[in-house]
Amino acid sequence: MKIKRKIEIVVISDVHLGTYGCHAKHLLTYLNSIEPKKLILNGDIIDIWQFSKRYFPKAHLKVIKKIMTMASNGVEVIYITGNHDEMLRKFSGTTIGNISIVDKAVLKLDGRTAWFFHGDVFDISIQNAKWLAKLGGYGYDLLTLLNRGVNWYLEKRGKERYSLSKRIKNGVKGAVKYINDFEKVISELAIENDYDYVICGHIHQPKMEYFENKYGKTMYLNSGDWIENFTALEYQFKRWKIYSFNEDKLAPFIVFDDEDDHFDVKNLIAAITIVEQAEK
C-alpha cells in the first residue's frame, strides 16, 4: 500500500513542460507521493516561450492531468505566472474550481506573512531585452538536451550524474553575482514590506536562508527547478524545508513508461471538465 506524505503547502516552480530539459517523470513521482492541502505553482510550469506541437511528451501531459486531478480532489492550486508562461497573465485573477491564476500571492502562515511570486520582475534581461532572454532559453534547452546524453553515458558506467549548465553558471563570476544580487534585492524588499517569508523561483537555485539588515529580517526561499535540481519547498508544522528528489527514496511511486499508455489530449480535456463540474 502506498502511504502518501501529508503536507500543508508544497511549492514547485520552473518545470518547463514542453522542453527537452524537463524531467516530468521525476515530478510525477513526487506528486504521486504527497497529499498537500495547498499546491503553489510558482511560475514557468508550462514553457509557452518554447512551446512546439512537435514536442509535448505523454509524461508532460500527465503532469497537467495530475494537477487537475489534485484540484478536483480538494487541493487548492495557486498558479503564479512566470516569464515563460507570461501569456497566462491576461487571465490573472481567474478562478476555476480549486485552481486560481495570479501574478503574486500573500498568505498568512501561523501568524507570519509569506510573499509568493516568480521573480522575473527583478530580472533586467527579461524587462529590457526579452528577445535576448528567449534566445538564451533556447540555448539552455539545447544544453540540457546534450546533458541528457552525457548523463545516460555516465549512468551506464555507474557514475554520478553531472550538470553542465550548473557547472557553467557556478563557474561564471557574473552569474554568481547576478544570483546574489537577485536574492539581496528581493530580501530587502520583503523586509521593507514586513514579510516574514519571501518565496520565489526563476533562477533555478534552491535555497533557504535568513537575510537581515538594520531594518529587520526575512527568510528567503527559492523552490529551484525540475530541470537539473529536482527540488520543491514544503511547509509543515510551522517550518519550511527544501525537498530534494535526488535524496528521496520514492520507488513505490515511480511512474513507468507503460503506465496509462492510452493517455492523450482527450483525457486532459476530461480532467479539465471535472474541475469545471466541481465548480458548479
pLDDT band at residue 252 using 50, 70 and 90 as cut-offs: confident
Average pLDDT, integer, range 27-45: 97
Domain span at residue 22?
5-279
Which grid coordinates are listed for 91? 487571465
The rounded distance, in Å, linking the Cα atoms of 59 and 31 is 13
pLDDT band at residue 130 using 50, 70 and 90 as cut-offs: very low
pLDDT band at residue 156 using 50, 70 and 90 as cut-offs: low
In our burial notation (b when 16+ CB lie closer than 10 A, e otherwise), range 17-40 reads bbbbbbbbbbbbbbbebbebebbb
CA torsion angle 187 220 13 229 (round to 10): 120
The rounded distance, in Å, linking the Cα atoms of 213 and 194 is 13
pLDDT band at residue 166 using 50, 70 and 90 as cut-offs: low
Average pLDDT, integer, range 223-241: 96
Average pLDDT, integer, range 196-217: 95
pLDDT at position 145: 53
CATH number at residue 205: 3.60.21.10
pLDDT at 141 > cutoff 90 = no
Cβ-based neighbour number of residue 215 at 10 Å: 9
Helix and strand totals (H; E) in the chain = 7, 12
Phi, then psi, of 43 in degrees rounded to 5:
90, 150
pLDDT at position 207: 96
pLDDT at position 176: 46
pLDDT band at residue 126 using 50, 70 and 90 as cut-offs: very low
Share of the chain above pLDDT 90, in %: 54
pLDDT at position 117: 93
Of residues 174 and 151, which shows the higher confidence score?
A: 151
Nearest CA-CA partner of 62 in 122, 94, 22, 118: 22
The rounded distance, in Å, linking the Cα atoms of 90 and 240 is 31
> Inter-axis angle of helices 24-32 and 58-72, to 10 degrees?
30
Residue 88: its H or E element:
none
Q: How many structural domains compose the chain?
A: 1
pLDDT at position 180: 67
175, exposed or middle or buried, with CB in 10 Å at 0-12, 13-18, 19+? middle
Average pLDDT, integer, range 99-116: 96
**Least confident piece of the model among 24-33, 94-103, 266-275:** 266-275
pLDDT at 32 > cutoff 80 = yes
* C-alpha pair distances (Å), 87 with each of 101, 112, 174, 257: 11, 32, 29, 31
The residue ranges of DSSP E strands in 52-130, in sequence order, are: 76-80, 95-96, 99-102, 104-109, 112-117
Average pLDDT, integer, range 170-178: 49
The length of the chain is 280
